[in-house]
Amino acid sequence: MRDVAIIGVKNTKFGEMWERSFRDIVVEAGVGAIEDSGVSGDRLDGMYVGNMSGGQFVEQEHIGALIADYSGLALDLHVPSTRVEAACASGGLAFRQAVMAVASGHEDIVMAAGVEKMTDVSSTGASSALAAAADREWEGIMGATFPGLYAMVARMHMHQYGTTSEQMAAVAVKNHKNGSMNPIAQYKNPITVDSVLNSIMVADPLHIFDCSPITDGAAAVVLAPADVAHEYTDTPIYIKATAQASDTIALHDRRDITTLDASVSAGKRAFEMAKMTPADIDLVEVHDCFTIAEICAIEDLGFAKKGEGGTMTEEGETAIGGKIAVNTSGGLKSCGHPVGATGIKQVVEVTQQLRGEAGGRQVDGAEVGMTHNVGGSGATAVVHILARER
Amino acid sequence: MRDVAIIGVKNTKFGEMWERSFRDIVVEAGVGAIEDSGVSGDRLDGMYVGNMSGGQFVEQEHIGALIADYSGLALDLHVPSTRVEAACASGGLAFRQAVMAVASGHEDIVMAAGVEKMTDVSSTGASSALAAAADREWEGIMGATFPGLYAMVARMHMHQYGTTSEQMAAVAVKNHKNGSMNPIAQYKNPITVDSVLNSIMVADPLHIFDCSPITDGAAAVVLAPADVAHEYTDTPIYIKATAQASDTIALHDRRDITTLDASVSAGKRAFEMAKMTPADIDLVEVHDCFTIAEICAIEDLGFAKKGEGGTMTEEGETAIGGKIAVNTSGGLKSCGHPVGATGIKQVVEVTQQLRGEAGGRQVDGAEVGMTHNVGGSGATAVVHILARER
């Protein structure tokens, strides 16, 4: 297997983009990543696109070919393009497929993109579409949507470990602070613990400020074999590990609902592949679809002891400048969560941090970063480790 | 890159399965393929699942994890499972990803599956869902569905090359004859040219017997590195080539609507990879979503000269025992077309032929076979070449 490097990245603005279409935003991301890489578009050997539900959100499937077409890569070049889906982990899995395509030698210059256009349906329609990431026959059909599922996780975490609503609110406060320094973020307004606790209740104990929003957005990266990456960029970022794991799709079938075993498994496999431990990681983008999810994630990945994620957050250890910088982009909570794009946006953020291009939210001396992308309530998890040094 | 072999295969029955669920049928295929391979299920390193639109057909996305879960591979084993989508080429692309995963050395024993449950919505709902494989903004929104798009291809082929309705009907007659010998086929009734020409018109010049049906079904194969394949089976089938290409998603943007450039490109790349020519192929499963599509396919892949696909079919050269056996399974037309499963079913059919297990529809002495799977009206094409000899 060949080593693989990132040579170009691009996020679109994340937010409610009423005036733009699905294909507009993904082409902006793709063309931007190509420009950033310095590679000519006609050098692309393949594309992988993460998208959860074009079918339900914009009545469009066959996303891979659509994007190759609108990027000018289909008519004459016939570049193969493959859509990958694993609910909110679709972007992370698209990146993983792209890494494997280059590592295998099947393809050299490959794009991984992610996109979701979620505001073309009503918010009820969006909730219903998102519920298709859970177990339709045992969860969705009973009326369970994701705020309810993660509320159960939160209640159990509070019961077992004494985690508090204030600790969950601290996740949102930190991520909004980080997001306020991210030009692409959907929400750039700093918030306080009180504003979270006083916001309307969505599914007790989760307030609306504990929840990530409905978002339009796209992100893309360009990959190359590590041996040639320096031909395109002075700051290639190397992929040290890619790991993916599955768990039961329904929450009630899990061993323990406060632990996402898929995250634990993918994290362990990634650390083994990179020959690293959590102490080697300078920053991590975790999947904070709800504030409780970030607390679980830092525990499941080994950055906090089980049950101590809330305390660690409240004490500022996950802030920029803390023990481990978590969600410097603002995370899903503040940067926004276009579900198919999130996994790629995480890779873009870590790449910009390792390049030293993260502006006000830069983690000083960042050498190694991680991404953690989750599908549904944890039935899919995918973890990547990226580094400045090969 | 490592050589890769097929060690197990399984198709479910194809048809209208009102009494069975999406997850039932795909688990039947997956477990069947594992049993056929002789490998223990806990040896699986990864799964790839082709599915066009669980979201629209059964309100279920996150198909990969769902299937790992219901196959018993998620709770303790956490086997990574990835859904791949390219409309009706979803199965072919899932197979391709699985081949690349094994070839790369990332994974050893890998399953590729395909599934679609299309009869849980109305036929209008199914047509609407399928139209999401075309260009929603320029085709679907104007009312164009696939019979209309392929009718335009047929009209142009008739105009340019003198292809007749009788020649198109001959495709259906041949495929129903083949399907009548396939235990899994949706339609096992032989038909005549007259019965095609007298069937109701769907989109002039395509009669309903020129169209593939709405179908439920699943299929699965198990792959292993070629070096160890003989540990599991006496008749491994080797993958000699995997190739994929894109074209414009809208028909009106094509260079020539009677030629699917993605098929031409994927076919050429496959022949180059395998160091073969059309003369080396004993049988081919092509994507006959409409009868005209089979005529285009055998031309685009080089089995017929341009414009002569209709004549060749009418003269029996594509029948079992003819110059090149086309769609021994009965094709999409008679075997049925559960859109996400079709690309895998094609691989199962060719494997069974090369193993000599195809019963009444066996091609004598078959050594090399090809599969050709198309998404939409040709925006994605994927071609595989399989052989008895490594």
CA nearest B141 in A: which residue? A59
Catalytic option among A176, A337, A372, A384:
A337
User: Which of B58, B69, B131 shows the shortest C-beta gap to A379?
Assistant: B69
**Cα pseudo-dihedral A171, A176, A177, A182, rounded to 10:** 130
**A278 and A330 fall within a common domain:** yes
Residues of chain B with pLDDT below 70 are: none
User: What pLDDT score was predicted for residue A356?
Assistant: 97
* Residue A125: pLDDT band with limits 50, 70, 90: confident
Joined together, the tokens standing for residue B182 give 């396939």
**A223 and A310 fall within a common domain:** no
Helix and strand element counts for chain A (H, E): 13, 12
Measured in angstroms, the CA of A52 and the nearest CA of chain B are apart by 7
* Residue A122: pLDDT band with limits 50, 70, 90: confident
Rounded distance, CA A270 to CA A95, Å?
A: 14
Mean pLDDT of A131-148: 91
Residue A135 domain-assigned (yes or no): no
**B160 and B22 fall within a common domain:** no
User: Which of A78, A135, A249 shows the shortest C-beta gap to B261?
Assistant: A78
**A321 and A341 fall within a common domain:** yes
Joined together, the tokens standing for residue A68 give 């190759």
User: Which of B59, B61, B134 shows the shortest C-beta gap to A85?
Assistant: B61
Rounded distance, CA B114 to CA B29, Å?
A: 9
Joined together, the tokens standing for residue B385 give 């070449």
Question: Residue A162, by phi and psi: left (phi above 0), alpha (psi -120 to 50) or beta?
Answer: left
Backbone angles phi, psi at A7, to 5 degrees: -115, -10
**B168 and B226 fall within a common domain:** no
Backbone angles phi, psi at A174, to 5 degrees: -60, -45
Instruction: From residue B256, give the alpha-carbon distance in Å to each of B80, B86, B360.
Output: 41, 22, 39
Q: What DSSP element (H or E) covers A299? A: helix A291-300
Q: What residues of A are in contact with residue B100 (Cβ under 8 Å)? A: 100-101, 104, 106
Task: Give yes or no for a contact between B137 and B114, defined as CB atoms under 8 angstroms apart.
Answer: no
Amino acid identity for residue B203 in this structure: A
Q: Do B61 and A106 touch (CB under 8 A)?
A: no
**Cα pseudo-dihedral A298, A300, A302, A305, rounded to 10:** 80
Instruction: Indicate which CATH number applies to the domain containing A32.
Output: 3.40.47.10
B213 preceded by cis ω (within 30°)? no
Identify the bridge partners of residue B9 per DSSP, sorted by sequence position.
B221
User: What pLDDT score was predicted for residue B125?
Assistant: 85
Rounded distance, CA A16 to CA A31, Å?
A: 21
Rounded distance, CA B56 to CA A25, Å?
A: 23
**Cα pseudo-dihedral B174, B177, B182, B188, rounded to 10:** 120
Active site residue B296: no
Q: What residues of A are in contact with residue B110 (Cβ under 8 Å)? A: none
Q: What DSSP element (H or E) covers A281? A: none
User: Which residues are within 8 A (CB) of B26 and not within 5 positions of it... i.e. 6 or more apart?
Assistant: B49, B67, B70, B113, B115, B218, B220
Nearest to A168 by CA among A292, A302, A283: A292
Rg (CA), chain B: 19
Round the average pLDDT of chain A to a whole number and report it: 96
User: Which residues are within 8 A (CB) of A137 and not within 5 positions of it... i.e. 6 or more apart?
Assistant: B21, B23, B60
Residue B171 domain-assigned (yes or no): yes
- The stretches of chain B forming alpha helices (DSSP H) are 22-37, 54-58, 63-70, 90-104, 123-131, 146-161, 165-179, 193-197, 261-274, 291-300, 309-314, 331-335, 342-355
**Using one digit for the tens of pLDDT, what is the confidence trace for A202-217?**
999 999 999 999 999 9
Backbone angles phi, psi at A221, to 5 degrees: -135, 155
Residue A185 domain-assigned (yes or no): yes
Strand pairing category for A283-285 and A325-326: parallel
Q: What DSSP element (H or E) covers A288? A: none
Q: Do B375 and A65 touch (CB under 8 A)?
A: yes
User: What pLDDT score was predicted for residue A58?
Assistant: 86
User: What pLDDT score was predicted for residue B297?
Assistant: 98
Joined together, the tokens standing for residue B279 give 């003369």
Q: Do B255 and A75 touch (CB under 8 A)?
A: yes
Rounded distance, CA A241 to CA A99, Å?
A: 10
CA nearest B48 in A: which residue? A84
**ipTM field:** 0.94
How far the first Cα of chain A sits from its last, in Å, is 14
**B51 and B105 fall within a common domain:** yes
pLDDT at A34 over 90: yes
Rounded distance, CA A152 to CA A250, Å?
A: 12
Instruction: From residue B130, give the alpha-carbon distance in Å to each of A144, B17, B124, B146, B150.
Output: 28, 19, 10, 8, 13
User: What pLDDT score was predicted for residue B128?
Assistant: 86
CA nearest B50 in A: which residue? A84
User: What pLDDT score was predicted for residue B106?
Assistant: 86
Residue B99 domain-assigned (yes or no): yes
Report the SS3 class of residue B360.
helix
User: What pLDDT score was predicted for residue B121?
Assistant: 86
**Total beta-carbon pairs less than 8 A apart between chain A and chain B:** 221
CB atoms within 10 A of CB B120: 15
Mean pLDDT of A215-229: 97
Q: What DSSP element (H or E) covers A172? A: helix A165-179
Measured in angstroms, the CA of B2 and the nearest CA of chain A are apart by 9
Residue B85 domain-assigned (yes or no): yes
* Residue A337: pLDDT band with limits 50, 70, 90: very high
Strand pairing category for A206-207 and A217-225: unpaired
Q: Do A261 and B83 touch (CB under 8 A)?
A: no
Backbone angles phi, psi at B176, to 5 degrees: -65, -35
**Using one digit for the tens of pLDDT, what is the confidence trace for A246-304?**
999 999 999 999 999 999 999 999 999 999 999 999 999 999 999 999 999 999 999 99
Q: What residues of A are in contact with residue B61 (Cβ under 8 Å)? A: 52-53, 56, 85, 87, 132-133
Backbone angles phi, psi at A48, to 5 degrees: -130, 130
Backbone angles phi, psi at B139, to 5 degrees: -120, -65
Amino acid identity for residue B162 in this structure: G
**A30 and A91 fall within a common domain:** yes
Measured in angstroms, the CA of A141 and the nearest CA of chain B are apart by 10
Measured in angstroms, the CA of B14 and the nearest CA of chain A are apart by 23
pLDDT at A106 over 90: no
Q: What residues of B are in contact with residue A1 (Cβ under 8 Å)? A: 104-106
User: What pLDDT score was predicted for residue A104?
Assistant: 86
Local structure of residue A388 (DSSP, 8 states): S
**B74 and B158 fall within a common domain:** no
**A81 and A171 fall within a common domain:** no
**B220 and B207 fall within a common domain:** no
Active site residue A287: no
Rounded distance, CA B343 to CA B221, Å?
A: 11
Residues spanned by the domain of B80: 4-122+215-237
User: What pLDDT score was predicted for residue A369?
Assistant: 98
Instruction: Report the domain count for chain B.
Output: 2
User: What pLDDT score was predicted for residue A229?
Assistant: 96
**B192 and B227 fall within a common domain:** no
Q: What residues of B are in contact with residue A266 (Cβ under 8 Å)? A: 78
User: What pLDDT score was predicted for residue B122?
Assistant: 85
Residue B132 domain-assigned (yes or no): no
Rounded distance, CA B183 to CA B197, Å?
A: 27
Task: Give yes or no for a contact between A97 and A114, defined as CB atoms under 8 angstroms apart.
Answer: no
Residue A132 domain-assigned (yes or no): no
Joined together, the tokens standing for residue B216 give 């439920």
- The stretches of B180-255 forming alpha helices (DSSP H) are 193-197
**B316 and B346 fall within a common domain:** yes
Rounded distance, CA B177 to CA B333, Å?
A: 11
Task: Give yes or no for a contact between A306 and A263, defined as CB atoms under 8 angstroms apart.
Answer: no
Task: Give yes or no for a contact between B217 and B187, defined as CB atoms under 8 angstroms apart.
Answer: no
Residue A127 domain-assigned (yes or no): no
Rounded distance, CA A263 to CA A12, Å?
A: 27
Rounded distance, CA B168 to CA A243, Å?
A: 48
Catalytic option among B88, B211, B296, B335:
B88
* Residue A131: pLDDT band with limits 50, 70, 90: confident
Instruction: From residue A3, give the alpha-carbon distance in Å to each of A102, A273, B181.
Output: 8, 12, 49
pLDDT at A156 over 90: yes
Joined together, the tokens standing for residue B23 give 């997850």
User: What pLDDT score was predicted for residue B127?
Assistant: 86
The percent helix, strand, coil of chain A (3-state, each to 5) is 40, 20, 40
